Amino acid sequence: MQPAEVKVPMMFSDAMGALDQITSSPAHEFWPLEAGLAGSSDEIRRGIVGHNQLTAAVLLDLAVGRGGCLATFDRRVVSLLPPESELRKSVAVIPV
């Protein structure tokens, strides 16, 4: 987990164990990345102001393209989108 967002230290092995548990659920569905940043929504790309936002932008675009929701600890992800954007409903900030 991103230490800047989640103030609770976690060992890598614990994070991988949690990932294994989540991905073994029958409800889990893998979404392959097909387009990358170059094929992402103009609305999302316009919100990028620095390299630290690239991963979030790609993941948000993937969620939007699949009709899903990006769950994140990072409150700043919504800043990729204008306040009036309908795409904001595709971001769920997990409180920590």
Domain ranges of the chain: 35-96
DSSP 8-state secondary structure symbol assigned to residue 91: E
More confident residue, 1 or 83: 83
pLDDT at 40: 87
pLDDT greater than 80 at residue 2: no
Handedness of CA 2, 57, 33, 36 (dihedral sign): negative
Angstrom distance (rounded) from CA 74 to CA 38: 23
pLDDT of 60 strictly over 90: yes
Q: What is the pLDDT of residue 66?
A: 93
Question: What is the model's pLDDT at position 49?
Answer: 93
Helix ranges, 24-89 (H): 42-46, 54-65
pTM across the whole model: 0.79
**Cβ-contact 65, 29 below 8 angstroms:** no
Q: Over pLDDT 90: what percentage of the chain?
A: 69
**Is-contact 56 74, C-beta < 8 A?**
yes
* pLDDT band, very low/low/confident/very high, at 26 (cuts 50, 70, 90): very high
Helix, strand, coil percent content, the chain, rounded in steps of 5: 50, 5, 45
In the predicted model, is pLDDT for residue 1 greater than 60? no
CA pair distance 30, 71, nearest whole angstrom: 15
Say what the pLDDT of residue 36 is.
Answer: 78
